[in-house]
Chains A and B, each alone.
Chain A
């Protein structure tokens, strides 16, 4: 259940309050327990969905969590942020005629119950004496570390920021992903014996030589490098990458400036460029800080890569959607942003990927007033460490090339998550990381 939009735009508390016990059990009973469950194939980590739903229907909530945790270490996170409509719920058979089962909500429901009563710590296999280095503490790094620790290895995570969690901490805002839940999940990983060293930038505070002295290395450095549009006026004060804007607020607490020292500019009118989750998050944060927000996206609303819930929530919260519009310059006055010059786009027929092609309409230029512009047009792998590993083979888009085991072109160096797949999802990051962990374990045992 969502909190009322008028109320929630005034704070950073969680928007979706989740299901009550009665609602959860009733929803679970709606599942027809398919013989060949489509939903499982829709989940990137293949959770036994019908089994955990049946456990909920039988009110055996702990059993349900145990089933989920066999495949997914962070159910409280994934239940909240997975794009379920294109994954598990998108293929649920009930969705053909009726509403699909709210699988994400059920997953989150049992995870929240377990957290409130305190989860028991899973047992680790006997110590192998092997030391493994994990770079980055986002979902990929955490999932890989947890899996390896359970298999008896000694794991150290290096994280460059002062908090662990990656995008879960600095990117996704608290009203969507409460930070105490992220911290709780990270503590669960620590309880397995994983050591997390924050303020350790691999390639700088830890040399490549030191890194390669470990028995195996997992790169989970994400896709944190923000792209800029390359248009005029981009360096004006008041222009942010979504990463910077969100980091200032989520990690540094700029929404509480001057109580916290880090400032952020919002002004009266904000233009956010983009149509993904990142753009929605930036827009919704700006709304909560009192701005009028316009979201500019070059294609149509149906083409937006953001989760459906995010689009709906943003609209309910009063974000104005300006689709089929592309910025061509950022306008300035007295060294500050004054507006955005944009052009209307004509949408063509959908291509093979189902998304519309688009081209600018001649003579359709117009200007929108703005004090702040936030660009959320995508991001690539952070080059800091990768530059120091020139032997690492990269894909055309710059991501690290891996095989199906997560192996890179350098011996004993594995990679997973956004750095290998390109900017994707939390669950995919965890899925690829876990595969790499299994491969590392196997290699170290032979």
Chain B
């Protein structure tokens, strides 16, 4: 079917999957904060997924099976091929060389984006504090990766089944209030989580970045599907972002546009469930 071989595929939890893909032109250039676009087969959608690690000519993605494409990807096995992988796309994270103290907060599947970012911040000489959270212990991903990289790591679960009970915003608030010098904060997760959590840092005037995830098509600035409002201005998340100043983002705008295709997404999944033979869909 395609040209990009899945060198390893496995489930991280019931709903979250990890995949290593052979994609040399992406792997050799990818930096923290960037994403790739995957087009599984000819009839498929182009979906953006963060590059969560690289090794030689391979990239790693981690995704939550939420809809047609991600559920299809979840069925793929080691050795299968993808039609297209394009990237790296977007601007790399704004990591400073030197001795800044940075906090990297990941929530849910957003934790997938944290190891590459934490590693880059660490490599640049920063003191890195990680906070990763999930609904429960089973849904927590990449804890080992983060523990190996971060100088300090806090783990939260909503139900208290592991680590600190509560949201990732808890430890973040404590750190902000502790009076320690904090230079930058990254928050990556679902829209609502990023919106709420970034309010924690606002009163402290700490530079805070979020990675926005609007619906995309090309990922190269050609369609405007990914337009978001930041600081009152229209920005294209795929070329100007995906990371933006959290305190400038118009969250309402983002979340409204994300819901644009809710009914079509449902229709598409129902159609796929009725047509199981979908893997041999022809390229047209």
Contacts and interface: CB of A to CB of B under 8 A. Distances in A.
B25 A205 contact: yes
B87 A201 contact: yes
Contacts of B87: 201, 204-205
B229 A252 contact: no
Interface in A243-261: 243-244, 247-248, 252-253, 257-261
A228 B232 CA distance: 15
A373 to B, nearest CB: 13
Chain A interface mostly: loop
A224 B222 contact: yes
The number of chain B residues touching the other chain, given as a range, is 35 or more
A145 to B, nearest CB: 19
A244 B239 contact: no
B66 interface: no
A397 B173 CA distance: 47
Contacts of B222: 224-226, 243, 247, 382
A201 B220 contact: yes
Interface in A271-311: none
A170 to B, nearest CB: 8
B21 interface: no
Nearest to B25: A205
A201 B84 CA distance: 13
Given A201-B87, A243-B223, A259-B43, A253 B284 contact: yes
B142 to A, nearest CB: 25
A384 interface: yes
B229 A235 contact: yes
Contacts of B217: 244, 247-248, 252, 262
A265 interface: yes
A215 interface: no
A87 interface: no
The number of chain A residues touching the other chain, given as a range, is 35 or more
Contacts of B86: 160-162, 199-201, 205
Contacts of B264: 257-258, 263, 265
Contact of B89 (A162, A204, A240, A262): A204
A207 interface: yes
A199 B85 contact: yes
Contacts of B119: none
Interface string B17-46: 000000001100100001000010001111
Contacts of A224: 220-222
Interface string A219-242: 000001110101000111110110
Given A162-B39, A261-B45, A383 B220 contact: no
A198 interface: yes
Interface string B271-284: 11000000000001
Given A162-B83, A226-B223, A261 B259 contact: no
Nearest to B222: A224
Interface in B226-258: 227, 229, 234, 239, 253, 256-257
A361 interface: no
A8 B135 CA distance: 53
A206 interface: yes
Contacts of A252: 45-46, 217
A335 B257 CA distance: 9
B191 to A, nearest CB: 14
Contacts of A230: 234
Residue of A197, A207, A247 most packed against chain B (CB within 10 A): A247
B68 A228 contact: no
Nearest to A161: B218
Contacts of B239: 383-384
25 contacts: A160-B218, A160-B220, A161-B86, A199-B25, A199-B85, A199-B86, A201-B89, A204-B87, A204-B89, A224-B222, A225-B221, A235-B253, A240-B224, A243-B224, A244-B225, A247-B223, A248-B217, A257-B264, A258-B272, A259-B43, A259-B271, A261-B68, A261-B268, A262-B44, A384-B221
8 closest residue pairs by CB, A with B: A237-B260, A263-B264, A244-B223, A258-B271, A205-B25, A199-B86, A241-B224, A162-B84
Given A204-B89, A205-B88, 11 more contacts: A201-B220, A205-B86, A224-B222, A235-B227, A235-B229, A241-B223, A243-B222, A253-B284, A258-B264, A382-B222, A383-B221
